[in-house]
A and B are shown apart, each in its own frame.
Chain A
């Protein structure tokens, strides 16, 4: 596998990584005078786990927001599944098959886990508000179908025991898992995870890593994630983009990136003598 190249390759554990799913071309994003992202290009291949790492303030979350279509870059273009992406409303992004989780958990705290995950199925529900109110025929069938899909995800992420528990009563690590469940409920092609392990203890990190890998191998979901914890990233991802001060300073397999001098400097600091 070559550094940031396009197209098919086979990972060490035998998964087929397909063609380009999303391509960032010379993205520049400014907030007033602040340049958050400067001329960044990289791509995400179908079926891979792609990580974006960097120190605090490097522009990782901005990058993820560009990928998700929440921020529109001033320069450059995002090519998604072969065609340039116009500016989209959030629900249109969801319809394109992109789902995400948030750095600061964004669940409906008062609702049960089940209801929260069900909201992830919103794009799959077709019946109108009136037939939902009457709750007969099509609306009922639709609810049952969606509930079945949701139950499979609950089973997959092993959160059966908290199915009916209000989210506000859950510990942090489980909330993160519920968020992942909700994102998965949308059956995304591309799953964006914003710091999925932030604030977790070692055991929770191990669980989450396993779930991320399982999602990738079971559903073939392409995953782009931002993460702080270098150890986790290096174990999880197929390819890594490294950012610092809004620039891309490295791109490649975990091993390549680990030996990249600029990356080492960014993480460990350089002596100025």
Chain B
């Protein structure tokens, strides 16, 4: 099984040691602080990590301990992860925006005795959690702001721990090296909690073998070099960030850049100009929306030039990127467009230097995908899961299509069951769900095949995988026709006005939908139309907004009706929700996936109204604020009927 060339590279701390030896003076981390990019070389990084590890060891962290890590992407938080690994203990990164009760569950589940946090906000949460669960012995915080007054014997600062480690360096370093040397490929590398679209989060246990092999394979697939630059801004608790910002970064030895604060991300992106970039579709959507909104406000000449150039890019940009044949005149035009429009636009977005860009997590709208590709940005899709250490399939360079998620990643085998569900087997396949052997055996069979939970098929000629929907969401309508909610939802979400959609219809006569409008896009439109509004709720209930949404739905009904298999999924009635679906209220996962059963439960009165023919419905909904307090929103929602295309008539006509 051991396919790694150098036998010594069995864990992240081993890779760190190699990087110190081979490129000690090259930058490993950068972070903007006090307005300046501060950087750490691999040698300096190693020193920081070792000292912190020695300090942790002194606090009692030992092999097999689970150490929770909560904070935004900062070098110190990454160092903490690797320091924990250096002691052969297991880092458990948690979503920093989780509310205290969510955190309590995972902390109790993994039995973490040590928690390393970023700042006061997280300290407060952990202290709150500590009242309900026992076992947390020590909280180590990095940013001391606001914590001066806290007198708690459980608290220490990152710096204190590091200084303690520094003082023990002489006597303890050999001991630390011994522990590092004892780490094997089969020891646990990290435990990541899945966000859980149904039920409680599950702790996915990944071994060093999983992470190291996956990092190696995926780095080679895209030919990643040590000169790559990435910006780490996605949640540290998400498997993608672990692979990109730790696995691949340590394997390849490239530099990870941390933004100054979440709000400065756009500026920081522009300053760094990453060459390797990852973002969920939502980020690309938001950026495209903001570009389009700004172009609406531009002068006539600029608007004309932009539209002309984008039309050209749409025609030839993708082909040029893929190295296909394109006429000489068009190449010259595209070259000029690049000077005047595409180049500056990419620069503004911080995408000038992207060599490899990925999007994953959700389906991306074909128009959005093509937009970025036509600008000359090598954006690709990948399909992955925490359980696979990310990679299942991905687009190879030159074979990028918006309707597939690519070919099997190196080392991954795919098979599609009769039910249509996709299965995979790879070196990255997780060991188990922590303390949950039942779920483990449900997901992974004895031969190592893992169920993705997604329905799809592999195209025979190309080997590309196409995903249709979540397997468990696919159902039957009352008349027996296929119900694929995600398929419809994605079509609607590609409209900039629409942020989120939930489609109902399983086992029912017809389909209905909840809509969330996109406050930025619709708000900007309202401003231009001189529509006054004071809140999301008010704007969402506006007649003109309703009209626009209705138009969108009727357009997609038209397009759905063209596929006889899915024609039953046309939306007959809809309403625009009075609140944005929110992870704090449990309606979305932390990675912003819709949790259907919770929504069905919570808004059952609205669903009833959608099906009983009423024109409007009054409701009251509980909401959770960011600090965990609860409140409620009352609203009366209008329900609208939409035109649907009757396919039996169409069939008759044809």
Contacts and interface: CB of A to CB of B under 8 A. Distances in A.
Contacts of B148: 217-218
Interface in A158-186: 158, 160-161, 163
Contacts of A163: 35
Nearest to B35: A151
Contact of B264 (A13, A161, A210): A161
Contacts of A155: 33-34
Contacts of B264: 160-161
Contact of B263 (A13, A147, A160): A160
A95 interface: no
B261 A160 contact: yes
A199 to B, nearest CB: 16
Contact of A217 (B33, B149, B260, B263): B149
Given A148-B34, A151-B34, A161-B264, A156 B149 contact: no
A140 interface: no
Q: Looking at chain A's contact residues, is the secondary structure mostly helix, strand, loop, or mixed?
A: helix
A156 B34 CA distance: 10
A163 B34 CA distance: 10
A85 interface: no
Interface of A: 13-15, 147-148, 151-152, 154-156, 158, 160-161, 163, 210, 214, 217-218
B322 to A, nearest CB: 37
Nearest to A153: B34
Interface in B1-53: 33-36
Q: Looking at chain B's contact residues, is the secondary structure mostly helix, strand, loop, or mixed?
A: loop
B479 interface: no
28 contacts: A13-B149, A14-B149, A15-B149, A151-B34, A151-B35, A151-B36, A152-B34, A154-B34, A154-B35, A155-B33, A155-B34, A156-B145, A158-B261, A160-B35, A160-B261, A160-B263, A160-B264, A161-B260, A161-B261, A161-B263, A163-B35, A210-B146, A214-B146, A217-B146, A217-B149, A218-B145, A218-B146, A218-B148
A152 B33 CA distance: 9
A214 B260 CA distance: 20
Interface residues of B, number: 14
B182 interface: no
B474 to A, nearest CB: 41
Nearest to A15: B149
A247 B629 CA distance: 40
A158 B119 CA distance: 13
B297 to A, nearest CB: 15
Contacts of A14: 149, 151
Contacts of A158: 261
Contacts of B151: 14
B559 interface: no
A147 B35 CA distance: 9
A163 B33 CA distance: 12
A155 B33 CA distance: 8
B267 interface: yes
A154 B35 CA distance: 9
B269 to A, nearest CB: 13
Contacts of A217: 146, 148-149
A218 B147 CA distance: 9
Interface in B267-285: 267
A156 B119 CA distance: 12
Nearest to B266: A161
Contacts of A218: 145-146, 148
B157 to A, nearest CB: 14
B625 to A, nearest CB: 9
Contacts of A160: 35, 260-261, 263-264
A161 B149 contact: no
